[in-house]
Structure 1
Amino acid sequence: MSLVILSFWVFQGMYVINSIKMGSLFHYLCVSLLSVVLCFFLSSKMISFYIFFELSLIPTLFLVFFFGYQPEKLQASMYLLMYTVMSSLPLLMIFIKMSGYILFISTSTSVSMVLFMTLGFMVKTPMYLVHVWLPKAHVEAPVAGSMVLAGILLKLGSYGLILFCPVLSGVVLYFYLSLSVWGSIFCSMICIRQSDLKGLIAYSSVVHMGVVTVGVVSGLEIGYSCALMMVIAHGVCSPMLFAVAFLVYSSSHTRVLSNNKGSLSTPVLSFILFLLLAINMGVPPSVNLWSEVYMFISFINMMTVSIFFLVVIAFVGVVYNLFMYITLSQSKEFDFSKTDYIYWPLLSACLLGFLLFPFLGVFSVYFSYLNAISITLTMFRLSLCLPEVTGDMCKSK
């Protein structure tokens, strides 16, 4: 239910920003995408789950292709298509096997089966090494596409990972944990060196989704709470950062940070940007803080030496968020007289909604965890007979 409400919330903000300047095709794509996303979150069958999981790609691809700003949108569309489709084909075969329709897939290679099954969800989460499509799609997509990608599409992969990821242990578990942590560190370093505003926000999404991956593959109750909290918090904060980036671009017609110094130096915009970045870096009492605390606890229970790497991720996250704030809110002022003032009520409403979101999010995550995780997830795994995967063998639960 939390993800359904989040979907409506993101689409409402996207409509307020874009609906005036876009035509009927834009409205059709938005309504189609919202319908597909809602059907995905409400699916109870594996085949329908997969169909809506893949069907969400079509409206998103059209948003990037038809409404992108630069000629590079062709390359971004190709990356988006190839990564998501190629990674989802093994997932389809595994779903068909689990449904009992075909018998020619060998179950002896359990580790390979789990790796292929999680790959389809990891690409859309996305996890480091399979994240290349995300910065390209974000940079070339219009603000509507960026808001949908950050607020909705990434949550499809996370939601599927929470439902279908089996209990991991041994080599497979530590492979995913190490890849998520090192990927978050590398992407944080890229954020510091990033000159493109939308690219910086896109790579910060990969950092936050690494937290989701750590929480899910840990197999702990507190890890699932960490993943759910981060999914909701990121789905609220990141689309609003892309909306702010759109305001900057609409005034200066460039996304280069060095050319946008002081572009948000007006008091209202500077205050909104500060709160959004504070939430993005996990300042109390935001939901990001609680998700990161839960990640620390779940990770330390498995690898005590990981505390150093987690501290590095948190510290570097503060650095690039403060760098963005100082760059955009200091120095010279830009003229926003040509900007439509409908954006200010949008950002104010989003800010108000997010200030209430920690309280709503904590209770929503708590009850959704008790219901969805304890009931839905358990029934899914029992009905699918998902295995417990080790480095060398598969043990049925």
Structure 2
Amino acid sequence: MDLVLILLMWFMNHTMFLVFLLLFIFCSLNSYSWLGLFLYLDSFMMVMMIIMSIFILSIIVMSEKNNMLIILSEMLVLVSILFFMSSNMMMLYMYFELSMFPILVMILGYGTQIEKINSSYYLLFYAALCSFPFLFVYFNSSFLMVFCYYDFLVSWEMLFILSLSFMMKFPIYFLHLWLPKAHVEAPTTASMLLAGLLLKLGTIGFLRILGGFNFMHSNIWMIISFLGMILSSFCCLFQSDSKSLAAYSSVTHMSFVLLSLVLVTMSSKMSSIMLMLAHGYTSTLMFYLIGEYYHTSGSRMIYFMNGFFGSSMLMGIIFSLVFLSNSGVPPSLSFLAEFIIITNSMNFSKYIFLVIFIYFVVSFYYSLFLMTNSLMGKQFLNLNTWNLGFSMPLSLMMYNMFWFSLLY
């Protein structure tokens, strides 16, 4: 209780809030175990997710000028950290739904176009449609789903309903329509949080109920993940808005994570966590850089994005590093994770390689297309490169092999 009171006291002082979160993480790393009835850290995986949340929040605190947006970001990060720590299914669900609130306020309050109302409708509709069946299953189980690692033997219909609410935040293809809309209407800060943090809630939630998949045929999710990888990478090719392209590339990566998870082997679980980490750091920086460009030039159209190298060499180098990491170029963390996923899936079936090959060709093409369009050109932009110092640690994390050694 004292911790909560201190936290509320420091909520307005952003630096103190960050310091408190860092201290909190070091304490939990020191002894990750029971912290009471509802909250505990059960694996290093959660600690890494919390570290990533703090990284993203620190970038926002340093680069965002609007005080209210920072407070909303702090709320979202706090809810996410509590979600990663919750050991009770009801708490898990509660924090999962509570994470919608700050994002909705950010989109509706600070979005610039009138379509933000439409995108909020999409977000709420998908959340309601996928989450109410989860509550129905929970109530019908006589509240027996106490611990977070759900390892019950149930029918596949029940498992499908349970995973559906997490799939919406994944987001898998066919439940993804709210994501590009929300990204396009949201301010840069909200986009960074949406891509870096909010999508991870779905994956961690799905990991919680993955125990039940040991006894089930999860072919349906495998097929949907293949469709998601191919279709959304083709969607990326036809985007003219750079933010929309980054949003669809998130969908392709999360479909890849889903493919890895439903193989239900230890190494595929590890590689999916690594890909989640890599995606979290990379997509945060992608939206940050696109936002910086938008604030300078007033346009997000890919065809008008040129002159990065002429304006600022540093900006151009970081931009190319981020988009190369996004397309899985060695020695980035996403390359390592994708390599392990491909190996695992080829052990499962050799025909999978054909699908993955198409995905890689297309995804590398759109990343390269965006890079050549934005970096080359004669236009000069007065870019604010002072803020780029903040993003250096994130760039380091994208190429950091420390996670690999920690997980394996």
Bin of the TM-score, shorter chain as denominator length: 0.7 to 0.9
Is the contact made by 2:57 and 2:74 (CA closer than 8 Å) also made in structure 1? Answer: no
C-alpha distance in 2 between matches for 1:108 and 1:354: 38
C-alpha distance in 2 between matches for 1:99 and 1:217: 28
C-alpha distance in 2 between matches for 1:264 and 1:123: 38
Aligned to 1:175: 220
Aligned to 1:382: none
Alignment of 1:281-360 (within 5 A): 281-336=327-382, 339-355=383-399, 357=400, 359-360=401-402
Alignment of 1:223-262 (within 5 A): 223-262=268-307
TM score, norm. by length of structure 2? 0.83
Backbone CA RMSD of aligned residues = 2.0
Q: Which one-letter code corresponds to 1:180 in the other structure?
A: S
Aligned to 2:74: 31
Q: Which one-letter code corresponds to 1:333 in the other structure?
A: Q
Of 184, 187, 193, 1:148 maps to 193
Is the contact made by 2:323 and 2:371 (CA closer than 8 Å) also made in structure 1? Answer: yes
C-alpha distance in 1 between matches for 2:299 and 2:320: 21
**Identity over aligned pairs, percent:** 30
**Long gaps (5+) in structure 1:** 367-397
Q: 1:133 to 1:188 in 2, by over 3 A?
A: same
SS in 1 for 2:299: coil
Is the contact made by 2:325 and 2:398 (CA closer than 8 Å) also made in structure 1? Answer: no
Aligned to 1:206: 251
Aligned to 1:361: 403
SS in 1 for 2:218: helix
Tell me which stretches of 4 or more aligned residues in structure 1 moved more than 6 Å: none
C-alpha distance in 2 between matches for 1:83 and 1:290: 33
Aligned to 2:267: 222
Q: 1:263 to 1:341 in 2, by over 3 A?
A: closer
C-alpha distance in 1 between matches for 2:352 and 2:215: 17
Q: 1:86 to 1:331 in 2, by over 3 A?
A: same
Aligned to 1:62: 105
Which piece of structure 1 moves more, 89-98 or 152-161? Answer: 89-98
Q: 1:108 to 1:353 in 2, by over 3 A?
A: closer
Is the contact made by 1:195 and 1:256 (CA closer than 8 Å) also made in structure 2? Answer: yes
C-alpha distance in 1 between matches for 2:84 and 2:172: 21
Q: Does residue 267 in structure 1 map to residue 313 in structure 2? A: yes
C-alpha distance in 1 between matches for 2:237 and 2:261: 27
Deviation (angstroms), 1:55: 0.6
Which piece of structure 1 moves more, 84-93 or 54-63? Answer: 84-93
SS in 2 for 1:282: coil
Deviation (angstroms), 1:69: 1.7
Q: 1:94 to 1:325 in 2, by over 3 A?
A: same
The CA deviation string for residues 32-65 of structure 1, in whole angstroms up to 9 with x for no partner, is: 2121111111101111111111111111111111
C-alpha distance in 2 between matches for 1:300 and 1:261: 40
SS in 1 for 2:331: coil
TM score, norm. by length of structure 1? 0.85
Deviation (angstroms), 1:354: 3.4
The CA deviation string for residues 277-322 of structure 1, in whole angstroms up to 9 with x for no partner, is: 1111111111111211121122122222111111111111110110
Aligned to 1:385: none
C-alpha distance in 2 between matches for 1:70 and 1:112: 40
Is the contact made by 2:308 and 2:315 (CA closer than 8 Å) also made in structure 1? Answer: no
Q: Which one-letter code corresponds to 2:104 in the other structure?
A: L
Question: Between Structure 1 and Structure 2, how many residues are aligned?
Answer: 354
C-alpha distance in 1 between matches for 2:403 and 2:322: 16
The CA deviation string for residues 354-381 of structure 1, in whole angstroms up to 9 with x for no partner, is: 34x2x22213333xxxxxxxxxxxxxxx
Q: Which one-letter code corresponds to 1:176 in the other structure?
A: W
Is the contact made by 1:223 and 1:295 (CA closer than 8 Å) also made in structure 2? Answer: yes
Q: 1:30 to 1:314 in 2, by over 3 A?
A: same
Which piece of structure 1 moves more, 281-290 or 160-169? Answer: 160-169
Is the contact made by 1:226 and 1:295 (CA closer than 8 Å) also made in structure 2? Answer: yes
Aligned to 1:11: 57
C-alpha distance in 2 between matches for 1:255 and 1:100: 48
C-alpha distance in 2 between matches for 1:204 and 1:149: 13
Aligned to 2:86: 43
